[in-house]
Amino acid sequence: MSSWGKQVKISIFGESHGPAIGCIVEGLPAGEAIDLDAVQAQMARRAPGQDSASTPRKEADAPQVLSGLLNGITIGAPLCAVIQNTNTHSSDYSNLLAVPRPGHSDYPAWVKYHGYNDIRGGGHFSGRLTAPLVFAGAVCRQILERKGVVLGAHALSVGTVSDSPLNPEPAALAALSTAYFPVLEAEKKDAMYREIETARAAQDSIGGVIECGIAGVPAGLGGEGMFGGVESVFSSILFGIPACKGVEFGAGFGAAKLHGSENNDPYYYDAEGHVKTRTNNAGGILGGITTGMPIVFRTAFKPTPSIAKDQQSVDLTTKENTVLAVRGRHDPCIVPRAVPVVESAAALALMNLPGILNGTAEV
């Protein structure tokens, strides 16, 4: 399955080292103006080769829209965009045909596809496929913003270095949503860079956590039966992001250490007569239904499995144990570039909550 969604459906195609990658987005409402410069700005946040924290591979990541827009406005037909792959070094992966990378999809994909899987850059398992996801999310977030829904994310942690928890106010979220490697405390970014550089210098990699907040989502969305709750919708697309290994909402796993009196979010009426909660341990979701408070969730990303350090593996041809050192260009930490990917996945998840576009959300 390379397709996801019901109300708004995205289908992603292509491989990391193929001629191009792209997506088809179905179900977008007609008559929505789409600023392609703003879309490109989001693409640039994810694009490779920006600094020492990312792969040296350079790609413009300029989407070519083939259908679905006329004079910059959605027409109700499927939106299709293609992104060219222009800087591939496929020979870097020749030694992986028989020796799978530990921590990567190489071996299980070899078994599932009987050895016909595209190993170059990870094929369709590559993080390269998040570029069309960001395109689709960048389109959706413009539609959501006109409904008063604002989202943004930051690097909550890289290795042992942690940023401050998110304050999901619209202005703060909007500021995060335009930055590369966004953090709340500038000095923490410097410390994160040092953590990444230490891993890179050791021919290794490091993981981290991204925290995302969404303001302006009205109460009462989601809860489509036992398995159609908001958490289920969000998690199902977030886990489609390569290297995502965990998702938690609100207090998340921390709630397991609390008493009910500590975890419950007390209700009150604000000055405008809206029902709010004094805390938000629920992360804006109860019973799979939005509460009207900001949605807050975190995604955990594993370290990049492609590392130059020697690792134990097997030779699938000779059926012997061997040692592998991965060649090529790889991110020592994917967290900085994954931030706009998480935001884009969240935007698509929101577009699949029935009723999200029926009225202006209260912020």
Least Cα distance to 232 among 2, 4, 1, 3 occurs for 4
Annotated binding residues, written as ranges, equal 46, 124-126, 287, 302-306, 329
Q: Can you say whether the dihedral through the CA atoms of 175, 338, 124, 52 is positive or negative?
A: positive
| Angle at alpha carbon of residue 17, lines to 38 and 155, rounded to 5° | 45
Residue ranges in the chain assigned as alpha helix (H): 36-46, 106-112, 130-145, 170-176, 186-201, 230-238, 260-263, 335-351
Annotated binding residues for FMN, written as ranges, equal 124-126, 287, 302-306, 329
CA distances from 1 to 38, 86, 240 (A): 29, 26, 10
Helix, coil or strand: residue 124: helix
Annotated binding residues for NADP(+), written as ranges, equal 46
- The span from the CA of 336 to the CA of 7, in Å, is 30
Residue pointed to by tokens 């994160």: 192
Least Cα distance to 2 among 161, 196, 133 occurs for 133
H/E/C letters for each residue in 136-159? Answer: HHHHHHHHHHCCCCEEEEEEEEEC
- The span from the CA of 117 to the CA of 158, in Å, is 32
DSSP 323-360: EE---S---S--HHHHHHHHHHHHHHHHHTSTTTTSSP
Neighbours of 97 (CB within 10 A): 15
Tokens of 299: 């995604």
